[in-house]
Amino acid sequence: MKLAGMTASIAGKAAKNSLKHLSSDEEKRLQARSELLQDVGIQIADTLGEMKGAVMKVGQIASQYKDVFPAEVATALEKLQKDAPPMPFSQIKSQVERELGAALESLFLDFEETPFAAASIGQVHKATLPSGQKVVVKVQYPDVDKNCESDLKQVRMALKIAGVLNMSRDLQEQLFNEIRQSLQDELDYTKEAQNLRVFGAFHSRDEGIIIPRVISSHSSKRVLTLTEERGESLSVAATWDNEVKQKIARHLFHFSAGQLFGLYRMHCDPHPGNFAFKEDGSVIAYDFGGIKSYSDREIQLFLRFARHAVSGDVTALEQDLIALEVRRDDDYHIPPQFYHDWLNIGMKPLSIAPYHEGAFDFASSQVHHDVITQMRSSLKYFSQFQPSPITMMLDRTISGQYWNLVNLGVNIDLSPLVYEYLNRNEAHH
């Protein structure tokens, strides 16, 4: 009912807005549309925020696909990523007992009633096993999975009516399938447990990357029990000295690049809350619900794109973008300078010469500001580009890790790592 009300109200606003500005000039129309979108964004975020479960999760996922939504709507949706209010303990207790088929007291020596983290589809409690081992227990809210499909349809309808999704029907389908798939994956904790085992084995030889182990006896489709791995938050790590921060930065780089090129599967939610840090520079990674798998063909395309970006070969780069479905395949001419300008921004944090020599200081990075400035001057070419289902999760991961390094405030030259991966994969071929 709430969602239908929201959809109807948005439809009314959108209609009124287009009637009111039929005769206005272009500038006024754009201004009015921007105000409408702000209004719509806040309304969507408020409605979704009041509702637990899948709806809110859809909102969160939508806020992560920022390039799909207009800035005004994305900004409002971002609020949803903050902590959600917790669920009453009685409901959590009965969910655990139902899932694990035994009384809570017999399953755990101790189970903290107050969650230390609450998210959109579940919350996390600290507990102790009968053996005395410290664990964390992730419990899914009751009935979240039942409403998923209809919630997703409603949100999509609301966005469509507001004229927020300016893309082809086909691309909408692909994007929403991607969102639906990642929702279903996150709702199935047996999948996450399997991911944890796969990634745990993959990183087992990496000094400094720690992944919690699954306690199978206490896990099911809606309950996931893991070994407790303690570390500090990103804001604490930001106060450590640069040498430790460099270790952390290298581990975060290997975490993402290692998976992409070594496992063809990737942890795609590098939200700072999904990592913890130790004073020896090691990184603990949590939350393996959002994993994306890639085909060999896609990985080869990413590698080709990376090589051409590093060498500044913009003719080849444009062909790579067409193959990745980011650039539309037509004969519209985009001047090479356009690509050079973007490379000039994108290659700086990686300390790739000639764009940037030596260590890059993430604490004072202007890259995100440069992107916005550059976008304004590139607007006339933007119709030639589109969000691509192939690169969407990768974009989200790279920008997330960029922000992690900015907030860590590290000063580091990442180029040796970039070349290490490019050369290592050169050898394979």
pLDDT at 84: 59
Question: Which pLDDT does position 302 carry in this prediction?
Answer: 97
Of 197, 229, 261, which residue constitutes the final position of a domain? 229
Residue 201 sits in the same domain as residue 292 = no
Q: What DSSP state is assigned to residue 214?
A: B
Q: Which long-range contacts (CB under 8 A, 24 or more apart) does 180-186 make?
A: 180/148, 180/149, 180/152, 182/61, 182/290, 182/292, 183/54, 183/57, 183/58, 183/61, 183/148, 183/152, 184/148, 185/289, 185/290, 185/291, 186/57, 186/121, 186/289, 186/290
SS3 category, 265: strand
Q: Quick one: 279 and 404 in the same domain?
A: yes
Taking the C-alpha atoms of residue 65 and residue 387, their distance in angstroms, rounded to an integer, is: 9
Determine how many CB atoms are found less than 10 A away from the CB of residue 337.
9
Q: How far is CA 71 from CA 42, 64, 65, 205, 326, in A?
A: 12, 12, 11, 41, 19
- CA-to-CA distance for 22 and 191, rounded, in angstroms? 51
- 163 and 214 inside one domain: no
pLDDT mean values, one per 10 residues, the chain (429 residues): 73 75 71 75 70 60 60 66 71 96 97 85 92 96 75 70 64 76 84 96 96 97 96 96 98 97 93 92 91 94 96 96 92 93 96 94 93 83 83 89 96 97 76
Query: Among the three residues 124, 155, 186, which one is the final residue of a domain in this structure?
Result: 186
pLDDT for the residue numbered 179: 74
In angstroms, the CA 248 to CA 146 distance is: 40
Same domain, 198 and 114: yes
Shared domain check, 180 and 54: yes
What pLDDT does residue 169 have? Answer: 74
pLDDT of amino acid 51? 63
> Do residue 152 and residue 21 come from a single domain?
yes
CA distances to 17, 41, 287 from 402, rounded to whole Å, are 38, 26, 19
118 and 215 in a single domain? The answer is yes
Q: How many Å apart are CA 301 and CA 308, to the nearest integer?
A: 11
Domain finish residue from 186, 214, 246: 186
Domain match, 42 and 59 both = yes
63-68's contacts with Cβ under 8 Å and 24+ in sequence apart are 64/269, 64/396, 65/175, 65/179, 65/387, 65/392, 65/396, 67/387, 67/392, 67/395, 68/165, 68/167, 68/175, 68/387, 68/392
Domain that holds residue 202: 88-140+188-229
Nearest to 138 by CA among 166, 119, 157: 119
User: What is the rounded CA–CA span in Å between residue 159 and residue 171?
Assistant: 14
**Cα torsion through 41, 142, 65, 16, rounded to 10:** -20
266 lies in the same domain as 332: yes
Q: Mind listing the pLDDT tens digit for each residue in 304-323? A: 999 999 999 999 999 999 99
On whether the pTM is more than 0.85, the answer is no
Q: What is the CATH number of the domain that holds 210?
A: 3.30.200.20
224 and 237 housed in the same domain:
no
For residues 254 and 309, state if they share a domain: yes
Q: Taking the CB of residue 50, how many other CB atoms lie within 10 A of it?
A: 11
Number of domain units in the chain? 3
DSSP 23: S
Question: What pLDDT score does 69 carry?
Answer: 64
